[in-house]
Structure 1
Amino acid sequence: MIKQWLRKNPATFLLVNIYHYFKGKWHIGKYTDEQAITRYYLMKSGQIPDLNNPTKFSEKLQWLKLHDRDPLKVQCADKFLVREYVVKCGYEHLLNTLYGVYETTSQINIDELPDKFVLKATHGSGWNLIVKDKRTINWFLWRLIMRVWLKQNIYWSGREWVYKNPQPRIIAEKYLEDETGELRDYKFYCFNGEPRFMQLEVGRHSGTNTRNFYDMGWKLMPFGKEIPHNSQVDVPRPNAFDEMKLIAKALSKPFSYVRVDLYQVYGKVFFGELTFFPAGGAPDFIPACYDEIVGNYLSLGVKELDAT
């Protein structure tokens, strides 16, 4: 709700982004990675993570921040470069239409873009602008906001190392909308190439967000993440669910953990993004015991342990 309000009030949103920019600059070189991760985890949960013998899902993600340096993850965390990986895996047909790639906001020619489109920063999370009518957008303020995005490096706050040395860019993509009039987001939690469960986002961009989790048989699971699950929301199994499971399995194959985000638009599947540290790896399962349960899926195997 707050995020939606901010996006409707770009002047305030600009100030929030400027604050985060200077907050990130303040963190540069101030703490070691382990100190910064411990502070981040403590701030989010009031707990100190066990980084030596992690058992919780959130703790293992923090451990991976410290020890895993797979260059493929750097590529796949970039919202532009990940397209190359998707093509290599044989799924070029899942990619959304790309209108442009920009290194500066002055390169974005609004007149050349359609009335509806989406702008995304390639080197972070949540930095996007959904444009349903470009005539209603305050482009002066939004260009300032995007300039701040291009100057930010989110690595320093939560030590998500995949963002440490980014090539900041903005991309413009086709606006997608499904048969509900919005865009349901199917987020597959994959462990060692196996999708274990899926997070469904409904109404995320309208401010009426419901977030439920389903197993691979489309059975509602008894937990939430950040917000409680809502058993009163009955969402039918999508027609392309089996296809999406196969896609998630293929795209997640090289990784001990990754979240594969997909969309279904009138029966056609589209690729969204790959996420290695959802919510920065914060311990936000509801109830909290599922942090430990889900942690059992994530095996820190030989590849990761060899990096220590």
Structure 2
Amino acid sequence: MRPFYEQQFYNNRPKAKGGEDYLADFVNDFTSWHDACLREAATVMPGGDYMTACSALDRREFRRIVRAGVGGYLRKNGEWPDFFRPRSFGAMNILHSILMPLETGRIPADKLKAGSYIPAKYRNRCRPAEVFRQWGPGERLSFAGLPGGKYYLKSNHASAQVMKIQLPCDTATLEAAQAAVDGWLATDYGRHSSQWWYGFIERRAFLEEDLNSGTEEPLTDFRFHIINGRMSVLQMDVGLGTEDRHNPVYDSNLNYMPHDFLRKNLREEPLPQNTELARDIAVEIGRQFQYCRVDLYLRGDEVFLGELTFLPNAGRRHVRSPELDEMLCADWSPMPRFVRLEEVAARQAA
């Protein structure tokens, strides 16, 4: 991989010094660097089976997602993502989002397909939440015939599109749910970031079981960050919806680390007995990609797969601990890989 030599020019022009005025020039330089590195890429994959942003999008759309990813990072952090000497986990995620290959026809960020990535040997120990109904764009919601209780209404192609539903519900609740779903399915999620893969997901709304129902024991919310086939950090989400929300973090051996990650780390929290199993499942799922955040929930002896995420917080939230950021960057060894698809190679040779 060639170094991105132009980086120093932009590093001297952060947002506070009019950096956004150079965004178009950065995109020009980045795409030239991208094309040169792609021609030299050591990793080659079959183009009929895989796609990248470069292969799946036309040139204009490719430049747009580069601009959205880099520009969003610049505006949020006040500096350019450094692609010369990696200094930021967020910057590495931005670059990976632009380069990552995905199977054609199966997008792992699709919440309705995430379960297919659970390895066969773990399918008796891990499953996604049960889905009771699905709806496409323009379809009317109906909860008729479903047992009473708590459910979650979600979309499969976005983040934070979720609504809690208590059945049976009144007409006003049904109409509010319909309005929410119509808005979700009309949203081109990822358009304003470099999360280009969301545009290839067939949009659906679905009704999912509430994993908290029928148990007094709260779910344990784990987010495993898997880089190059190994667990880099376990981010535990504690106290969601409360003032005490925080993210204790643990290393690959499940040792507590007193560092702040994307949120404050207030204290060590006890890990449940199936944490090692959850880690092993997350690694098996995550090693199918160069980087993946694997979200798992624990409820007693049960392990549930939530979703697979490839650009948490659109790559814009910085790691609060410099020590932890340095450790995460080192796990990329040292940068995300360029992947050349065979059909792209043939087209360039012609």
TM-score normalised by length of structure 1: 0.79
- The alpha carbon displacement at 1:182 in A equals 3.5
From 65, 76, 79, give the equivalent of 2:111.
Answer: 79
Measure, in 1, the Cα distance between the counterparts of 2:151 and 2:177.
14
Per-residue CA deviations over 1:3-38 (Å, capped at 9, x if unaligned) read xxxxxxxxxxxxxxxxxxxxxxxxx96963322222
Written as runs of structure 1 = structure 2, the 5 A alignment for 1:1-308 is: 32-71=64-103, 75-86=107-118, 90-91=122-123, 93-104=126-137, 106-114=139-147, 115-132=149-166, 135=169, 138-177=173-212, 181-206=217-242, 208-231=244-267, 234-299=268-333, 304-306=338-340
Q: Is the 8 A contact 2:248 2:269 kept in 1?
A: no
Number of aligned positions between the proteins: 279
- The alpha carbon displacement at 1:248 in A equals 1.0
Q: Is the 8 A contact 1:105 1:146 kept in 2?
A: no
User: Given the superposition, is the C-alpha separation of residues 76 and 296 from structure 1 closer, same or farther in structure 2, using an over 3 Å criterion?
Assistant: same
- The alpha carbon displacement at 1:257 in A equals 0.9
Equivalent residue, structure 2, for 1:10:
none
- The alpha carbon displacement at 1:105 in A equals 6.6
Measure, in 2, the Cα distance between the counterparts of 1:213 and 1:180.
25
SS at match of 1:125: coil
- The alpha carbon displacement at 1:269 in A equals 1.1
TM-score normalised by length of structure 2: 0.70
Q: Is the 8 A contact 2:115 2:305 kept in 1?
A: no
User: Given the superposition, is the C-alpha separation of residues 147 and 288 from structure 1 closer, same or farther in structure 2, using an over 3 Å criterion?
Assistant: farther
- The alpha carbon displacement at 1:74 in A equals 5.5
- The one-letter code of the counterpart of 1:79 is K
User: Given the superposition, is the C-alpha separation of residues 164 and 89 from structure 1 closer, same or farther in structure 2, using an over 3 Å criterion?
Assistant: farther
Instruction: Give 1 or 2 for the bigger CA radius of gyration.
Output: 2
- The alpha carbon displacement at 1:90 in A equals 4.9
SS at match of 2:197: helix
User: Given the superposition, is the C-alpha separation of residues 82 and 155 from structure 1 closer, same or farther in structure 2, using an over 3 Å criterion?
Assistant: same
- The one-letter code of the counterpart of 2:73 is Y
Measure, in 1, the Cα distance between the counterparts of 2:122 and 2:294.
15
Q: Is the 8 A contact 1:56 1:296 kept in 2?
A: no
- The alpha carbon displacement at 1:198 in A equals 0.6
Aligned-pair identity (%): 22
Per-residue CA deviations over 1:208-235 (Å, capped at 9, x if unaligned) read 422211123433212223321102xx52
User: Given the superposition, is the C-alpha separation of residues 287 and 80 from structure 1 closer, same or farther in structure 2, using an over 3 Å criterion?
Assistant: same
**Runs of 5+ in structure 2 lacking a partner?**
1-59, 345-350
Measure, in 2, the Cα distance between the counterparts of 1:102 and 1:87.
28
Q: Is the 8 A contact 2:234 2:250 kept in 1?
A: yes
- The one-letter code of the counterpart of 1:97 is E
User: Given the superposition, is the C-alpha separation of residues 74 and 64 from structure 1 closer, same or farther in structure 2, using an over 3 Å criterion?
Assistant: farther
Measure, in 1, the Cα distance between the counterparts of 2:103 and 2:164.
30
Measure, in 2, the Cα distance between the counterparts of 1:32 and 1:180.
47
| Runs of 4 or more above 6 Å deviation | 28-31
- The one-letter code of the counterpart of 2:249 is F
- The alpha carbon displacement at 1:298 in A equals 1.8
**Runs of 5+ in structure 1 lacking a partner?**
1-27
User: Given the superposition, is the C-alpha separation of residues 57 and 134 from structure 1 closer, same or farther in structure 2, using an over 3 Å criterion?
Assistant: farther
User: Given the superposition, is the C-alpha separation of residues 278 and 89 from structure 1 closer, same or farther in structure 2, using an over 3 Å criterion?
Assistant: farther
Measure, in 1, the Cα distance between the counterparts of 2:328 and 2:64.
28
- The one-letter code of the counterpart of 1:121 is S
Measure, in 2, the Cα distance between the counterparts of 1:226 and 1:176.
25
- The alpha carbon displacement at 1:141 in A equals 2.2
Deviates more, 1:160-169 or 1:296-305: 296-305
